[in-house]
Structure 1
Amino acid sequence: MRLVILGGGESGVGTAILGKKKGYEVFVSDFGKIKGNYKEVLIINGISWEEEKHTEELILNADVVMKSPGIPDKSPIVKKLQERGIPVISEIEFAAPFTKATIIGITGSNGKTTTTMLTHHLLKSAGLNVGLGGNIGKSFAWQIADNKYDSYVLELSSFQLDGINDFKPHIAIITNISPDHLDRYEYKYENYIDSKFRITMNQTEDDYLIYDADDEAICNWFKTHTTKAKLIPFSLTKIFSEGAYIKNNKMEIKISQEEFTMDTEHIALEGKHNMKNAMAATSVAKLMQIRKATIRESLSNFQGVEHRLEKVLKIQNVQYINDSKATNVNATFFALDSMNTPTVWIVGGVDKGNDYNELMSLVREKVKAIICLGVDNKKIIDVFGNVVDMMIEVDNMNDAVRMAQRLTEKGDSVLLSPACASFDLFENYEDRGNQFKQAVKNL
């Protein structure tokens, strides 16, 4: 069996290692450059590879192709594979059959990283032998090749779910759905929504789907679609006989005749959206039969996720907050919503078809100045130009942070929450967040 892998990054190299171990003839092809550390791994394992090209005669003879999530379906090589009827799947689809572990899969437009990390923290603190992977950390396939975990908590992007046929998590979570990555879905929101719901398409009556019952897109999907999985909703406003909700400042979770309650003030994560993330993760912990005392302790000591509303430093009584992970409008909505001081907002990057009007009321209420950090800021300036007193364009992070410092007074906050992808000026959102933190430390 010939396994061809498109993309020589974390998921590609992880799949190559697992494929080799399982007896496939493996070839890795990357249209860009492969990082040095990944090249070394391929060479040590005797796996053939190429970079900066896709050689068709070495690819179109595959029995199966694993495509890295960053490569769009409309790329020429993928189209040629599809025309020949060669299956093109994601790492998750390739790797899952090689493990008997319990799989918890988490998707959503926002909150999925926090929910994934928190779920992993809850299970690990309880002494479970649990791996963390998917869109974060070490490749899922690589972990299956190297480790023997009893369960995995996987963060799954819509791109990874697009490449599944048979994959099914025992417990699935959809944190929420808002327009994102529409450039990859023919600018049709319904295509993107359907993509997220692929997480439950193979689930049976023995599986669970945990979802945000306040989310309009999710509730609308249920009006015309069904899943066999047992449904566990969570909500800030509704109350359920089976599900998770907030009542009188208490988080309450009722699952299969069992109840769990905890005062929200003892939960380490702040903000309404994080209450939802906590309800989703705690629902998993209950399904996995984790003791109540362990859940309470883990929820109260969880550290949060880097680049997501991360408090960097307070300088001259001004709080600098790194929310570089906010790569869409909905994520920035949560960030602005959680601000309770006058805010200088650093925004901009590669626009993915954003509608900034959704932020209008929050910007009027909370933002005193906007710093545009992107190659093309026209859309942001058009929407907010008349709303804030001060609008400034910069083209690097040091200028953005220095300018922000000039515009603040004691008691203000500086919030990096770009609402955009980072690829115009940075390698990725981590690079953008790290540059922000460094620039703040240099003030």
Structure 2
Amino acid sequence: MSQATVLLVGFGITNRAVGAQLKARGCRVIATDDAADGQLRSQAAALGVDLRERPAPDDWPDLVAGARAVVPTPGLPESHLALGAAAAAGTPVVSEFDLAQRWDSRPTLAVTGTNGKTTVTLLAAAMLEASGIAVRVAGNTETPLVEAIADPQCDAFVVEASSFRLGHSRCFRPSVGAWLNFAPDHLDVHASLSSYRGAKAALWRRAGEHTTAVVNGDDPVVVSHTPGRGRVLTYGLSEGDYHVNGGALWAESEKLADIAELRRSQPHELSNQLAAAAVAMAGGAHLEGVRTAMATWAGLPHRMALVAEHGGVRYYDDSKATTPHAVCAAVRSAAPAVLIAGGRNKGLDLSPLAEVADGVRSVVAIGEAASEVERAFAGRCPAVPASSMDEAVGLATERARIGDAVLLSPGCASFDWYGSYAERGDHFARVVRAMIGGSP
């Protein structure tokens, strides 16, 4: 691609890393951005990237026609004019994954799924590290894959593979690819549920005889996309190559861990640990490395994190749960619960929340989607709106009984009240601790 012109649509973290790598390889880079500021302009100038701000609709055909390839920023809506112009001009749209694999031949272990991607990615990386294999975690993280490949010291890359990146990948073929689950999500970006599903399925689209697919046997959508080529490893809570039996986790006939000894042992957490073990062992981890990482795994911040226990009530921060699917898993783990849910809906149908209504004593609905949350539980359990996190925690505490959990598991994005799910979860924790005054 040397001397070619490449068009970057959006100039955020990922495409800045893409731009740097393309410039280092002699390409001309044009970037567009609808929210450019002084800092972004300075970064573009430092990289030698031609930054075009806020292109008009009529500008896209010419921008695309002059490019060898188009690289969209992760999360660019499928309806964006740049993608339509690229299709009309026959200009290929590629992802950072495509470029990274073109430039580096080291193994990639990729993890996708509606929920659990970050957990499985980080745990699999820990298992590999404990086995003496140097890895970098990349992808849908703070480090794009095109940036991670600049590290000459690592043996492999463990990649959190979002639909945003997979959906635009043309030739990405990971050495190991795990698909954890499927449920509606990101319909504010993908044109339809079918399109979102197709983006996830792209993980295995190019599977070959030297690739390994890690398949969640408990998810029928995932199973229906099992590739017909290459090695297949299955996992599940009852059946699979990696499974649960007799109070323990197993890799075929090898015991990985007794559940009673694990720090995280709810059903969805056990499923994630089985998936991570399958990914890591397919990537070369040994049993002792897997066991060591499992024994010390404490979970992720903002994912069913116990904030406090007071007056016989447990308070959990599950702010990372931004889909109904994730909320349902959390409620099943914590029931009976008083649920704090809502925020900015990502174009999803929230009615599946009613599936766990029997485990919810009461609902406190927050944010822009408060009325949608209330409708989801109408006739199933009491629901009340709150106009702030302080009010939400107070109302939830009033409704909780001894033995209950107060569970912040929003099922929505955070961007109505907060800058991130982490900020939302941190605020929830501060409010809880202030309310109980540091009492045990």
Return the TM-score normalized by structure 1: 0.89
What CA distance in whole angstroms lies between the structure 2 residues aligned with 1:93 and 1:273?
Answer: 31
Q: Please tell me the root mean square deviation across aligned C-alpha atoms, in Å.
A: 2.3
What CA distance in whole angstroms lies between the structure 2 residues aligned with 1:93 and 1:321?
Answer: 39
In the other structure, the counterpart of 1:227 is 228
Deviations 1:328-385 (A, max 9, x none): 1111111001014x32211112334544444435222x22221111224333222313
1:172 pairs with 2:188: no
What CA distance in whole angstroms lies between the structure 2 residues aligned with 1:141 and 1:442?
Answer: 43
Deviates more, 1:355-364 or 1:307-316: 355-364
What CA distance in whole angstroms lies between the structure 2 residues aligned with 1:183 and 1:98?
Answer: 32
The one-letter code of the counterpart of 2:50 is S
Measured after TM superposition, the shift of residue 284 of structure 1 is 2.3
1:113 pairs with 2:108: no
Change (3 A) 1:269 1:233: same
Measured after TM superposition, the shift of residue 318 of structure 1 is 3.0
1:344 pairs with 2:307: no
User: For the Cα contact (< 8 Å) 2:64–2:85, is it kept in 1?
Assistant: no
Deviates more, 1:274-283 or 1:178-187: 178-187
SS of the equivalent of 2:200 reads helix
Of residues 20, 37, 53 in structure 1, which corresponds to 2:23? 20
The one-letter code of the counterpart of 2:292 is E
In the other structure, the counterpart of 1:200 is 204
Deviates more, 1:197-206 or 1:136-145: 136-145
The one-letter code of the counterpart of 1:233 is T
The one-letter code of the counterpart of 1:246 is V
Deviates more, 1:349-358 or 1:147-156: 349-358
What CA distance in whole angstroms lies between the structure 2 residues aligned with 1:139 and 1:40?
Answer: 21
SS of the equivalent of 1:325 reads coil
What CA distance in whole angstroms lies between the structure 1 residues aligned with 2:349 and 2:322?
Answer: 13
Aligned pairs for 1:206-217 (under 5 A) are 206-217=210-221
1:246 pairs with 2:239: no
What CA distance in whole angstroms lies between the structure 2 residues aligned with 1:312 and 1:60?
Answer: 53
Measured after TM superposition, the shift of residue 399 of structure 1 is 2.7
In the other structure, the counterpart of 1:360 is 354
SS of the equivalent of 1:375 reads coil
Measured after TM superposition, the shift of residue 296 of structure 1 is 1.0
Measured after TM superposition, the shift of residue 248 of structure 1 is 0.8
SS of the equivalent of 1:89 reads coil
Change (3 A) 1:263 1:358: same
The one-letter code of the counterpart of 1:371 is V
In the other structure, the counterpart of 2:286 is 291
Deviates more, 1:119-128 or 1:167-176: 119-128
Of residues 10, 14, 30 in structure 2, which corresponds to 1:11? 14
Deviations 1:381-403 (A, max 9, x none): 223133223x2212332332233
In the other structure, the counterpart of 1:432 is 424
Change (3 A) 1:19 1:319: same
Change (3 A) 1:285 1:209: same
Of residues 73, 79, 84 in structure 1, which corresponds to 2:78? 73
SS of the equivalent of 1:442 reads helix
Aligned pairs for 1:41-56 (under 5 A) are 41-53=43-55, 56=60
User: For the Cα contact (< 8 Å) 1:168–1:199, is it kept in 2?
Assistant: yes
The one-letter code of the counterpart of 1:108 is G
Change (3 A) 1:157 1:288: closer
SS of the equivalent of 1:88 reads coil
What CA distance in whole angstroms lies between the structure 1 residues aligned with 2:374 and 2:51?
Answer: 45
Measured after TM superposition, the shift of residue 33 of structure 1 is 3.7
Deviations 1:218-266 (A, max 9, x none): 23345xxx4312110111122x4xx111111121113xxx744421222
SS of the equivalent of 1:319 reads strand
What CA distance in whole angstroms lies between the structure 1 residues aligned with 2:394 and 2:116?
Answer: 30
Of residues 405, 414, 424 in structure 2, which corresponds to 1:413? 405
Change (3 A) 1:343 1:33: farther
SS of the equivalent of 1:133 reads strand
What CA distance in whole angstroms lies between the structure 2 residues aligned with 1:395 and 1:7?
Answer: 34
Measured after TM superposition, the shift of residue 297 of structure 1 is 1.3
User: For the Cα contact (< 8 Å) 1:134–1:155, is it kept in 2?
Assistant: yes
Change (3 A) 1:30 1:353: closer
What CA distance in whole angstroms lies between the structure 2 residues aligned with 1:77 and 1:290?
Answer: 42
Matched length: 429
The one-letter code of the counterpart of 1:252 is W
Deviations 1:294-343 (A, max 9, x none): 22111010121122112223344432211111111111111001014x32
What CA distance in whole angstroms lies between the structure 1 residues aligned with 2:224 and 2:206?
Answer: 20
Measured after TM superposition, the shift of residue 419 of structure 1 is 1.3
Of residues 51, 62, 66 in structure 2, which corresponds to 1:61? 66
In the other structure, the counterpart of 2:127 is 122
Return the TM-score normalized by structure 2: 0.90
What CA distance in whole angstroms lies between the structure 1 residues aligned with 2:431 and 2:38?
Answer: 26
Change (3 A) 1:370 1:276: same
Measured after TM superposition, the shift of residue 53 of structure 1 is 4.4
Change (3 A) 1:264 1:40: farther
In the other structure, the counterpart of 1:133 is 138
User: For the Cα contact (< 8 Å) 2:75–2:189, is it kept in 1?
Assistant: no
Aligned pairs for 1:392-407 (under 5 A) are 392-407=384-399
SS of the equivalent of 2:70 reads strand
What CA distance in whole angstroms lies between the structure 1 residues aligned with 2:262 and 2:376?
Answer: 36
Deviates more, 1:110-119 or 1:176-185: 176-185
What CA distance in whole angstroms lies between the structure 2 residues aligned with 1:276 and 1:251?
Answer: 9
The one-letter code of the counterpart of 1:203 is A
SS of the equivalent of 1:436 reads helix
The one-letter code of the counterpart of 1:133 is A
Change (3 A) 1:356 1:59: closer
Q: Which runs of 5+ in 2 are unaligned?
A: 436-440
Q: Which runs of 5+ in 1 are unaligned?
A: none
SS of the equivalent of 1:202 reads coil
The one-letter code of the counterpart of 1:231 is V
In the other structure, the counterpart of 1:157 is 162
